[in-house]
Amino acid sequence: MTGRTFDDAFRADFENLIKWRRDVRRFRSDSVDPELIDHLLKLADLAPSVGLSQPWRFVPVVEEQVRKKIVASYERCNAQALGGYEAGDAKLYAQLKLEGLREAPLQFAVFCDETTDKGKGLGSQTMPETLRYSVVTAAHTFWLAARAYALGVGWVSILEPEVVRSALAVPDKWTLVAYLCVGYPQEEHIDPELERAGWEKRK
């Protein structure tokens, strides 16, 4: 029964963890100990899931040619997003660094297996989207745990899910939920980077 209560010192550190969990886009090229990654993935497995379905599937994105397809997808989506902003916003948007897809030593596409039998559908019949929400809590747990080990994570959402699915040849019924870049960050920020603060202040 140890470990189930938490003191003020832990709470203060936990709040710092929440504050320092930034979305990282600038990574160092240092490799990451595979045992540490295994440990983080095991912690992610403890995330809440509807009916204990644990539908998350973390697929490492390793091959150069797969990564190139991901970058190309990002570039298509980002050009389209840029085209949707008016001149002033577009200029600022174009300056933002929104992802670390070329630098991050480790990358994971995180899918939801919509067909899992685990949990036998308990709790997810009225709101089937809770299966995908369960995958989000696993990605978020991974992110927080990574930060506790000084790793940075960036979640890239400017991607075509179908392209990612097809580049990795995963089953049809796996939905892309998150794409995570992982590595040691080049810099530490508690606030959004300067160029981004400009974007956020602009009305």
- Strand positions, DSSP E, the chain: 56-60, 106-113, 152-155, 174-183
Residue 46 binds to its own copies (criterion: CB under 8 A): yes
The residue among 104 and 159 lying less far from its own copies, judged by its C-beta, is 159
Residues 115-134 that bind its own copies (CB under 8 A): 119-127, 129-130, 132-133
Task: Classify the C-alpha dihedral 149-13-136-123 as positive or negative.
Answer: positive
The residue among 64 and 94 lying less far from its own copies, judged by its C-beta, is 94
Enumerate residues 6+ apart whose C-beta is below 8 A from 99.
25, 74, 154, 156, 158, 181
The residue among 44 and 106 lying less far from its own copies, judged by its C-beta, is 44
The residue among 60 and 121 lying less far from its own copies, judged by its C-beta, is 121
Structural tokens at position 155: 């979640």
Task: Judge contact between 101 and 67, C-beta under 8 A.
Answer: yes
- String marking each residue 161-190 x if it binds its own copies according to CB under 8 A: x--------------xxx---------x-x
Amino acid identity of 79?
Answer: A
Residue 87 binds to its own copies (criterion: CB under 8 A): no
Which residue from 113, 108, 123, 115 is spatially nearest to 164, judged by alpha carbons? Answer: 108
Residues 141-160 that bind its own copies (CB under 8 A): 141, 143-145, 147-150, 155, 157-160
Q: Which of these ranges, 8-16, 28-36, 63-71, 101-109, lies near its own copies under the rule CB under 8 A? A: 8-16
Residue 105 binds to its own copies (criterion: CB under 8 A): no
